[in-house]
Amino acid sequence: MREQLVASFQYALAQTHPARLTEQHLPKEAPALIVAVGKAALSMLEAAQKRFPQTTFIAVPKTEAGRDWPHLPNGRILPASHPVPDEKSVQAGQAILRAISKLKPDDLLLLLVSGGGSALMCAPWGVDLATKQALTQALLRCGADIQEINAVRKHVSALKGGRLAAATPAHILALYLSDVPGDDLAVIASGPTVPDPSTFADALGVLDKYGLDFPGVRAHLTQGVQGVLLESPKPGEALFARVENRLIGSNQGLLEAARTYWQAQGYRAVILSDRFQGEARELARFHANLVQSIRTHKEPFRPPVVLLSGGEASVTVRGAGQGGRNQEFLAWLGFYLGQEGLWALAADSDGIDGNTLAAGAIWQPGTRERAREQGLDLKSFLLQNNSHGFFAAMNDLLVTGETANNLNDFRVLVVE
């Protein structure tokens, strides 16, 4: 069963590989410039370069320690930092702004966007890089959801929230891979070519909600509220008549591929939702309650059944441990199920869960018993937000390396 869990994840990733999805949506005419940004930047670029080998490009993937980046003709690869931007993120943002501003009205810009682009392509506006780094870290740790995080980021950036589209006179075809629940293009990589429904006031409200100080940021946002600064481009503005934004891949597609895998193994497989959000521990409680209902009442599904779910959990970090939202989910799931246990896998589709090198982890029916035999107290690990430490000690981490994909969380529970 462990091998099947891992195989279902790998199969789903292969079926939704970014190059495969991008190839199906490329334009007939050659673009004047290709810009690829995000964790799947090079995978998406691969398909575009194969079709348009002579077109100039800029690609901004995530920095990978020890990786030698290929020297490709006609373009530049500018790796940068995620989830917190760095100086290279700013250099990449500036390079993109310079390149797109030189395009002409009859040119076509092909923009390939995947999750992570918010940090990788950075153009601070009204704040310096150090402040933006601290702000990003605070937003990631306070429990804010991705919509709230991006409402703030869009209003301290010269590229996010439709501002990239406003910075060029060219026509734009933007292909988006979604890593956000609900597949809202305005949220993916902070929607650089998408009308922004959020406002300066919304951004200020997020800081108030989570008690984040940042006087310089507040002063900038207050200027925006007062009308001193120009708002991000809104729905209905004329500039979007020359922009086509297209969703080409999503978490739902990832889950559907996994469902196909499990059905081929003879299981009934059910997709619960691709839109789960909220604290990982509360999502775990819901899934545990559902498993117990299936086992006790055979409702709402008769076992055996495979439960698939996605979306994007969050974690309010209070301890000093290591982990990620998927490892946190799985550890809490095992805690709530107690001795009942089950086979389950939870992972981030990009191969990197939180601040660890693991994609996620695997829970086995006997995990709690094995932990006790080793003198490990699961609850103490959870209270320290140290799910990674727990699964490392249990030899149950799922380590894939970066997958070149990014379609959000992947969870599979096998209820025998």
- Nearest in space to 325 (alpha carbons), one of 388, 373, 251: 388
Place of tokens 């006179």: 169
pLDDT the model gives residue 181: 87
Task: State yes or no: pLDDT of 393 exceeds 90.
Answer: yes
The sheet carrying 397-398 orders its strands as 269-279, 305-314, 409-415, 343-348, 360-363, 397-398
- Residue 88's pLDDT band, with cuts at 50, 70 and 90, is very high
What's the CA gap between 306 and 415, in Å, rounded? Answer: 6
Question: What CATH number is given for 17-249 in this structure?
Answer: 3.40.50.10180
Min mean pLDDT across 29-43, 58-72, 335-349 is at 58-72
pLDDT the model gives residue 37: 98
Task: State yes or no: pLDDT of 270 exceeds 80.
Answer: yes
Query: Which residues make up the CATH 3.40.50.10180 domain(s) of the chain?
Result: 17-249
What's the CA gap between 77 and 42, in Å, rounded? Answer: 9
pLDDT the model gives residue 70: 74
- Residue 247's pLDDT band, with cuts at 50, 70 and 90, is very high
What's the CA gap between 339 and 97, in Å, rounded? Answer: 56
Strand partners, 59: 36, 77
- Mean per-residue pLDDT, 101-125: 96
Task: State yes or no: pLDDT of 146 exceeds 90.
Answer: no
Largest CA distance in the chain: 69
- Mean per-residue pLDDT, 163-177: 98
Q: Are 224 and 187 in contact (CB under 8 A)?
A: no
Above pLDDT 90, what percent of the chain? 89
Query: Which residues make up the CATH 3.40.1480.10 domain(s) of the chain?
Result: 251-415
- Nearest in space to 106 (alpha carbons), one of 32, 160, 164, 212: 32
278 burial class (0-12, 13-18, 19+ CB within 10 angstroms)?
middle
pLDDT the model gives residue 53: 95
Q: pTM for the full model?
A: 0.88
- Nearest in space to 176 (alpha carbons), one of 245, 239, 117: 245
What's the CA gap between 126 and 135, in Å, rounded? Answer: 13
pLDDT the model gives residue 377: 96
pLDDT the model gives residue 72: 77
- Residue 344's pLDDT band, with cuts at 50, 70 and 90, is very high
Q: Between 235 and 67, where is the model more confident? A: 235
- Mean per-residue pLDDT, 383-387: 96
Above pLDDT 70, what percent of the chain? 100
- Nearest in space to 65 (alpha carbons), one of 391, 352, 388, 393: 352
Structure tokens given for 233: 């481009």
CATH class of 251-415: alpha beta
Task: State yes or no: pLDDT of 67 exceeds 90.
Answer: no
pLDDT the model gives residue 316: 87
pLDDT the model gives residue 119: 94
In the DSSP assignment, the letter for residue 300 is S
What's the CA gap between 399 and 391, in Å, rounded? Answer: 11
